Amino acid sequence: MGRTAGRSPEDTRRALLTAAGDAVRSRGIHASLDEIARFAGVSKGGLIYHFASKDELILELARAQLVAFEATIAAALDPADTGPGRLTRAYLRAVLTPDGDDMASMALITLLMTVPAVAELARAEAARLDAELAADGLPPDVLALVVAAADGMSSAPMWGGSARTPAHRRVVERLIHLTRRPELWEEIPWSTAPPADPRAPRTVSPGPRR
């Protein structure tokens, strides 16, 4: 990052947060304020002027990542879509159409989550989002399935996989269809029998009668 002269204080803070994210991705969560200041192209004193401690900087960096994710979901809302599941469909689009920046953000928030204060912040944000999704008008089972599938597929690139294959796109289309017709879930002939006890002895078939 270049010089911060001529920027507003808010612009400078945003630029410093960007540099901090680059430093953490490069050096890890234990990157020092000196290293972060070098990435930002400012003195350590200039950095501390905006963020009094590394803990404050890391927490603000995490908060900025979470706010950006909220904005991604809001941008994915379809103004013409006013039916039940509207927010869930936006969530699907937000987490399953990632670009390079989104992958970098996911890697960064994974590193930041090792900090207890960040983990607490993220849990509070997740609880807030869960409450909004629960009020989105979908049956709980359908909502749980759709969100779990979206979260699982979105994490695939973190392990070298892909969430952009034709099969994944078909799954996304069907998940969205399920949010529009959740009654399809109830039409599946689910078994009502209790699950088998894995500790129970197996019954051996006597075989065909002779």
Tell me the two tokens of residue 169.
């796109």
Q: Supply the pLDDT for residue 186.
A: 84
Tell me the two tokens of residue 149.
């599938």
pLDDT tens, residue order, the chain (210 aa): 444 455 677 888 888 899 899 889 888 888 888 888 888 888 889 899 999 999 999 999 999 999 988 999 999 999 999 999 999 999 999 888 655 556 677 778 888 988 999 999 999 999 999 999 999 999 999 999 999 999 888 877 666 666 677 888 888 899 999 999 999 988 888 776 666 666 655 444 444 444
Residue (of 64, 69, 70) closest to 24 by Cα position: 64
Q: Supply the pLDDT for residue 209.
A: 44
Tell me the two tokens of residue 136.
């989105």
Q: Which pTM was predicted?
A: 0.78
Q: Supply the pLDDT for residue 12.
A: 82
Q: How far apart are CA 88 and CA 179, in angstroms?
A: 8
